[in-house]
Structure 1
Amino acid sequence: MNAVIIHESRGRIRLRLKQKSLSLQQADLLEAWFKKQTWVQQATVHERTQCLILHYTGSRDQVLQNLKGLTWEQMESLTLPSHSSRVLNRAFEEKLVGKVAMKIFGTLFLPPPFRIARVLLHALPFLRRGLRCLFNRKIKVELLDAISIGISVFRKDFATAGSVMFLLELGELLEEWTRKKSVQDLAQCMSLNVDRVWLSTPDGEILTPISQIQPGDQVIVRIGGIVPVDGVVSQGEAMVNQASLTGESIPVAKRPGSFVYAGTTVAEGECTIWVKQISGQSRYDQIVAMIEHSEQLKSTAESKASSLADKLVPYTFAGSLLSFILTRNITRALSVLMVDFSCALKLAMPLAVLSAMNEAGREHITVKGGKFLEKIAQADTVIFDKTGTLTRACPQVAQVIAFSGREENEMLRLAACLEEHFPHSMANAVVEEAKRRGLKHEELHSKVDYIVAHGISSRVNQERVLIGSAHFIFEDEKCTISAEDQEKFDNLPLEYSHLYLAIGEQLAAVICITDPLREEAPAVLAALRGLGIQKTVMLTGDSRRTASVIAARVGVDEFCAEVLPEGKANYVASLRAAGHTVVMVGDGINDSPALSEADAGIAISDGAAIAQEIADITIAAESLWELVRLRQISLELMARIHAIYRFVIGFNGGLIALGVAGILPPSTSATLHNLSTLGISIHSMTALPNKKQRPL
């Protein structure tokens, strides 16, 4: 890369590229490439100045060496999002500058006749919208705008009409810009993050990078997996959860010939998909449509604001008419018309919610709708799953105990071969331990069946192989322990969770899993109590012995052990029936029913895909402090919404009173009203107060 260093300090360097210009696509490509490098902490590209700012780790010389060897050809393999925030911002920046420049030019340089003609031309769209409301018998803000502009033009007060229209257009532009940017950022947060898929080939299944998948390929998706592409089911049968795209609460049966959509999840079964569209290309547009059009995702506060705004319009008309009757002064009546409550309420509320959702995204929290932030603010009870939530998302294998004279590494190899198909924290632990020991586990088994909250069943070398809980192995499947191994079994270490492997209906191995508690968990629960949470509960399918140890260490108010998925959902339902607002936090397939049942379901980002898809909110796996920040953002959002109500009603009510009293002329009322609307909207877009409680 040909560039010159402009400025540098420890861990930071600013460079200017030596080329005539930098396109928006090149800037996105450059930024995306650097963000994928392990030695880059942060990368920012400014396409106008052709500058690159890097925050890096490691040796400065190594960084410069990497920069010298970088070429555009190396970056061509990167797949950029089909919708670029940089392109969106550039388009609206140009619109904004052009609108302001035209206003200044018209005011300073156009002769009066041309200024009047320009005002009349601009007034036509506003008058047309007002007439449309009148013909549809709807009294809305567009009618108010049309009447106030029309009366100003009729009174030959072209300066007032021009100012009102300029401010209205400016407000509409800022509203559209902010809304599109917020929706785009949110949609990108919710877009697919699938790196690899199981590709079906004549030689068997191959774990393949998603970037190498092409139309016509066959990919396999099993229970709990996310559908990575749009396509048609060619083999198998599955129940697919499409709630994120279609709003259907019940999984839909998909058989050969059925179409499946990228981003949906397999709730039951497995299927092979004939790829029609690669890398979930249509997923982004589907999510944007969902966010923009799904009324069910609006918070109660947003719906209330929109409803109240429309209800206040007739009162504004009544106030204007009453003012004219009492004073016989059209100027005072016009002052009332120039002010309405609906603009600020309809604009500021959605912007406040979208801004809060966007801010949550910057904190690695994905929120699927404003109403869920409201539920988080109202919540008094938080329920946690144990494994992968209160404990680390990647438990570790502490010991493998083989039975019946079998070899320890062979048993681990077999367990990893089965578990790699069903990503969950304990399954990941088995696969990682096999990798650490250098054990390769080829696909030796036949079809793998997953029994939720119990285990996995398959066949290897004509023998039935089972792996799962003690309940599944010994009670459901009636597997036995040889007499010579009974003493070894009775002395299994009690401090670990146990995963049981059986071959041919006889116990073959016990994999001991250590499940370290998240270091931050006790402090997070204490912080949540400080933010108004009254009750914390832990639910787990583990034994009561293991659960009691974790519960005591983390400090939950209650815990329930040996709970099946339906038991978790029933527990959540019982609390809601008792009048509690419940938040459920989980990461696995077995948490999905409870996540769906809760007022707000929160999934851990590296958990099962179906849990993330069903959940209303997803947080990063690195730390539970995101829960505290989520609660703070929600409370701060509700406080801001209430402040907006107070300001809009108070300020605009004051303007109306001053207009009726004859103190403010129509032009001043209109200017102050529109400036206050812009001001409160801009305030709604600002970051919420940052009160992080994460320890330094």
Structure 2
Amino acid sequence: MKFQIKHEIKGRMRVHMAQKRMTFAQADTLLYYLHSFKYVTSVQVRERTGDAIICYVGDREAIIDRLRKFHYEDVEMPEGLIENSGRKVNQEYQDKLVYKVLFHYARKFLLPYPLRVCYTGLTSIKYIKEGLQTLAAQKIEVPVLDATAISISMLRGDFNTAGSVMFLLGIGELLGEWTHKKSVDDLARTMSLNVSKVWLKTEDQEILVPVSDIKEGDQVIVHMGNVIPFDGLVTDGEAMINQASLTGESVPVRKTVESSVYAGTVVEEGEVTVRVKEVGGSSRFEKIVTMIEESEKLKSASEGRAEHLADRLVPYTLAGTGLVYLFTRNVTKALSVLMVDFSCALKLAMPISVLSAIREASLYNITVKGGKYLEAIAEADTIVFDKTGTLTKAEPTVAKVVSFNGQSTDELLRIAACLEEHFPHSMAKAVVDAAEQRNLAHEEMHTKVEYIVAHGISTSINGKRAIIGSHHFVFEDENCRIPEGMQQQFDELPKEYSHLYLAIEGELAAVICVEDPLREEAEAVVNSLKKAGISKVVMMTGDSERTARAIAKRVGVDEYYSEVLPEDKVGYVEKEKEKGRKVIMIGDGINDSPALSAANVGIAIRDGAEIAKEIADITIGADNLYQIVTLKLLSDSLMKRIHKNYRTIVGFNTGLIVLGVGGILQPATSALLHNASTLLIGLKSMQNLLTD
């Protein structure tokens, strides 16, 4: 496509696309296309001007070549991305804000005074009605205060002050509504499905196919730990389904044949075959938005305190107004108190601060499911890491396969991949990827696969029982044996690798040596977390004592625990909480899910098991552990902003009241300064925290 470079510095260019008008859909398509290029670090696309601002690393010519090859119709967009991008909402509220300001000042300077009075009177009906309804409910809250201030101003004939108060209240409402809607939509988008492939049931086997190939009426098989990709009806199997993402239920629900299941819910236990009822994903987005709107998850304790404090202050403001009039008999001075209250700013600034922080977190590829989790991160003093896929790289690799039964290593790896591909874990993915790299294609040759959490997998191949998993599972739980004459080979297995054991008919068939390299940034992240206020860093793993000890020493954790089961992780988290400590748990596997749920804050790795992401309160990307440090700094900065807002609101408004009672400021001036300060604090609260 044709474009023009309008401005350029090293690592950044602004280009103008050669077209008359850019639609919202085209802007989102261009944004997705550029963002998916490996050299691009950030992109902004402005549909009004048709410009794109691209920040990149590496070769400039690669970016230009990428732009030359761009055509809107050639880009395959993920389902629901354009429909729910939020671009239309942003323009809608920007236009509303501009029109509101222009209309206010045009009316003020162009309308004759009698018409302005009529307009102010009509506009006031809304606020007076809300105040009366609040009183009728036997409450004295913010709407009562607003209605009183507007009513008294108009009774005194001061229609300019009444109009200014309503204008600034309207601006505040608009900004609050805009920020809230954008933050909720951003959160809903990150919680939406990201399933690329599913298991399609055919007459004689399961086939892994792209989601786009699935049609209404197809049957898909969903294994334990995986997300259900479509609304549908269970035709086979039985499972416990976690529906928290749609219903908020914390307890999983049993589903059997003929039960309805919904896209986005997760199989905690069991396995089901689902007949697809609806392929489209837009309805799920709307369901998630509704769930978030109705849920208390968005509310942090600070927001709750701000709302309650704001409402509790209203009677004192009204009483103060009455007392000033009683002692001074001066309506002007009494109105100076009424025109200034703490509640508007408190109710506007705190939610905006929290929602803006959630939005900012998404810029760093961090999904936060509610404001209270940011507050919990700020208060946390203990952090527990799972090892595999968390402190170690999310993509371990198979280093070698050692045969113990005389079969070829390729055949043994093919069998292992056939079992492991059904379950989401970084070790399993390493086996499947190794088989693909060696072009070891296979058909489903086993019976139903059973996954034993934190242990391994069992099934039957050609009538023979086959298992794959940990040393504990294979040799202690299943009592498998090492073939005669192979003990020395077993003892000489390379100790620098993690080991997966494959046994057939009770006898060890192969050991798959998996290289699980430590993340380069792991040690620096642990040190940074300690500097940021985390006093205790713990590592827990199902791996051997030998491997755990080596990793713990390199990373610099305070404590480590090896060969742990899911219940051991939960027990440790609960024990720490009983001591009064605030605990963060970070993991990526099905076996981490109970501990993620038990912790004050559960953080899941985005490439991990679906059930872990479902249960977790926060999700981070798989490519950089520094996001945990960013999250801690963001949370700390949010709490500092909230406390600063408290001090500013109380200090400034107290000063206005004193100046008003002293006769230095007129009510109209007090109202203007109060509402302007509320607006400025709200705008300040929308700014990014980590660039202050």
Normalising by the smaller structure, the TM-score range is over 0.9
> 1 CA distance for matches of 2:496 and 2:161?
78
- Per mean C-alpha deviation after superposition, the further-off stretch among 535-544 and 187-196 is 187-196
Q: Which residue of 2 aligns with 1:500?
A: 501
- Structure 2: gaps (5+ residues): none
Q: Which residue of 1 aligns with 2:547?
A: 546
Q: Which residue of 1 aligns with 2:150?
A: 149
1:521 aligns with 2:522: yes
> 2 CA distance for matches of 1:149 and 1:297?
32
User: Are the counterparts in 2 of residues 127 and 146 from structure 1 also a CA contact under 8 Å?
Assistant: yes
User: Are the counterparts in 2 of residues 404 and 485 from structure 1 also a CA contact under 8 Å?
Assistant: no
- Per mean C-alpha deviation after superposition, the further-off stretch among 17-26 and 635-644 is 17-26
User: Are the counterparts in 1 of residues 588 and 604 from structure 2 also a CA contact under 8 Å?
Assistant: yes
What pairs with 1:235-384 in structure 2 (closer than 5 Å)? 235-384=236-385
Deviation of residue 29 (structure 1)?
Answer: 2.5
Deviation readout 1:273-295 (Å, 9 max, x if unpaired): 22222253322222222322212
Does the residue aligned with 2:277 lie in a helix, a strand or coil? strand
> 2 CA distance for matches of 1:673 and 1:484?
86
- Per mean C-alpha deviation after superposition, the further-off stretch among 197-206 and 436-445 is 197-206
Q: Which residue of 2 aligns with 1:417?
A: 418
TM-score under structure 2 normalisation? Answer: 0.96
Q: Which residue of 2 aligns with 1:184?
A: 185
> 1 CA distance for matches of 2:169 and 2:76?
43
Deviation of residue 84 (structure 1)?
Answer: 2.9
> 2 CA distance for matches of 1:446 and 1:324?
85
> 1 CA distance for matches of 2:533 and 2:57?
40
Q: Which residue of 2 aligns with 1:17?
A: 17
> 2 CA distance for matches of 1:515 and 1:479?
25
Q: Which residue of 2 aligns with 1:444?
A: 445
Does the residue aligned with 1:174 lie in a helix, a strand or coil? helix
1:221 aligns with 2:228: no
> 2 CA distance for matches of 1:690 and 1:69?
35
Q: Which residue of 2 aligns with 1:481?
A: 482
TM-score under structure 1 normalisation? Answer: 0.96
Q: Which residue of 2 aligns with 1:51?
A: 51
> 1 CA distance for matches of 2:303 and 2:6?
47
Does the residue aligned with 1:372 lie in a helix, a strand or coil? helix
Q: Which residue of 2 aligns with 1:694?
A: none
1:73 aligns with 2:85: no
Does the residue aligned with 1:464 lie in a helix, a strand or coil? strand
Q: Which residue of 1 aligns with 2:675?
A: 674
Name the aligned partner's letter for residue 268 of structure 1. E
Does the residue aligned with 2:168 lie in a helix, a strand or coil? helix
Deviation readout 1:539-562 (Å, 9 max, x if unpaired): 111121221111111111111111
- Per mean C-alpha deviation after superposition, the further-off stretch among 219-228 and 80-89 is 80-89
Distance 1:463 1:598, change over 3 A: same
Distance 1:649 1:43, change over 3 A: closer
User: Are the counterparts in 2 of residues 309 and 343 from structure 1 also a CA contact under 8 Å?
Assistant: yes
Q: Which residue of 1 aligns with 2:235?
A: 234
Distance 1:296 1:474, change over 3 A: same
Deviation readout 1:88-121 (Å, 9 max, x if unpaired): 0111111111111111211121111111111111
What pairs with 1:111-126 in structure 2 (closer than 5 Å)? 111-126=112-127
Q: Which residue of 2 aligns with 1:27?
A: 27
Name the aligned partner's letter for residue 477 of structure 2. D
User: Are the counterparts in 2 of residues 29 and 78 from structure 1 also a CA contact under 8 Å?
Assistant: no
> 1 CA distance for matches of 2:528 and 2:10?
35
Name the aligned partner's letter for residue 605 of structure 1. R
- Per mean C-alpha deviation after superposition, the further-off stretch among 45-54 and 322-331 is 45-54
> 1 CA distance for matches of 2:76 and 2:562?
52
Q: Which residue of 2 aligns with 1:194?
A: 195
Does the residue aligned with 2:689 lie in a helix, a strand or coil? coil
> 2 CA distance for matches of 1:316 and 1:328?
17
> 1 CA distance for matches of 2:441 and 2:576?
47
Name the aligned partner's letter for residue 88 of structure 2. V
Name the aligned partner's letter for residue 91 of structure 2. R
Name the aligned partner's letter for residue 644 of structure 1. N
User: Are the counterparts in 2 of residues 211 and 279 from structure 1 also a CA contact under 8 Å?
Assistant: no
1:86 aligns with 2:97: no
> 1 CA distance for matches of 2:296 and 2:194?
26
Name the aligned partner's letter for residue 290 of structure 1. M
Deviation readout 1:8-29 (Å, 9 max, x if unpaired): 5555554433333222222222
What pairs with 1:381-396 in structure 2 (closer than 5 Å)? 381-396=382-397
What pairs with 1:398-437 in structure 2 (closer than 5 Å)? 398-437=399-438
Deviation of residue 360 (structure 1)?
Answer: 1.3
1:509 aligns with 2:510: yes
- Per mean C-alpha deviation after superposition, the further-off stretch among 364-373 and 212-221 is 212-221
User: Are the counterparts in 1 of residues 184 and 292 from structure 2 also a CA contact under 8 Å?
Assistant: yes
Name the aligned partner's letter for residue 493 of structure 2. L
Distance 1:59 1:524, change over 3 A: closer
Name the aligned partner's letter for residue 618 of structure 2. I
Name the aligned partner's letter for residue 225 of structure 1. N
Deviation readout 1:463-483 (Å, 9 max, x if unpaired): 111001111112211222221
Does the residue aligned with 1:371 lie in a helix, a strand or coil? helix
User: Are the counterparts in 2 of residues 384 and 586 from structure 1 also a CA contact under 8 Å?
Assistant: yes
Distance 1:199 1:488, change over 3 A: same
Name the aligned partner's letter for residue 278 of structure 2. Q
> 1 CA distance for matches of 2:10 and 2:329?
72
Does the residue aligned with 2:458 lie in a helix, a strand or coil? strand
> 1 CA distance for matches of 2:504 and 2:426?
23
Q: Which residue of 1 aligns with 2:209?
A: 208
Name the aligned partner's letter for residue 495 of structure 2. L
Q: What RMSD in Å do the two structures reach over aligned CA positions?
A: 1.9
Does the residue aligned with 1:447 lie in a helix, a strand or coil? coil
Does the residue aligned with 1:290 lie in a helix, a strand or coil? helix
Distance 1:367 1:76, change over 3 A: closer
> 1 CA distance for matches of 2:78 and 2:497?
43
- Per mean C-alpha deviation after superposition, the further-off stretch among 341-350 and 21-30 is 21-30
Does the residue aligned with 1:510 lie in a helix, a strand or coil? strand
Name the aligned partner's letter for residue 474 of structure 1. F
Does the residue aligned with 2:486 lie in a helix, a strand or coil? helix
Distance 1:196 1:582, change over 3 A: same
Aligned residues: 691
User: Are the counterparts in 1 of residues 297 and 371 from structure 2 also a CA contact under 8 Å?
Assistant: no
Name the aligned partner's letter for residue 402 of structure 2. I
Q: Which residue of 1 aligns with 2:98?
A: 97
Distance 1:74 1:634, change over 3 A: same
Distance 1:215 1:118, change over 3 A: same
> 1 CA distance for matches of 2:604 and 2:245?
14
User: Are the counterparts in 2 of residues 228 and 280 from structure 1 also a CA contact under 8 Å?
Assistant: no
Does the residue aligned with 2:688 lie in a helix, a strand or coil? coil
What pairs with 1:551-570 in structure 2 (closer than 5 Å)? 551-570=552-571
- Per mean C-alpha deviation after superposition, the further-off stretch among 664-673 and 67-76 is 67-76
Name the aligned partner's letter for residue 638 of structure 2. L
Deviation of residue 368 (structure 1)?
Answer: 0.9
User: Are the counterparts in 2 of residues 263 and 280 from structure 1 also a CA contact under 8 Å?
Assistant: no
- Structure 1: gaps (5+ residues): 692-696
Does the residue aligned with 1:192 lie in a helix, a strand or coil? coil
User: Are the counterparts in 2 of residues 33 and 78 from structure 1 also a CA contact under 8 Å?
Assistant: no
User: Are the counterparts in 1 of residues 297 and 369 from structure 2 also a CA contact under 8 Å?
Assistant: no
Deviation of residue 2 (structure 1)?
Answer: 4.1
Q: Which residue of 1 aligns with 2:165?
A: 164
Does the residue aligned with 2:225 lie in a helix, a strand or coil? coil
Name the aligned partner's letter for residue 161 of structure 2. T
Deviation readout 1:36-68 (Å, 9 max, x if unpaired): 344544443222222234445676666555544
Does the residue aligned with 1:483 lie in a helix, a strand or coil? coil
Name the aligned partner's letter for residue 437 of structure 1. R
> 1 CA distance for matches of 2:72 and 2:406?
58
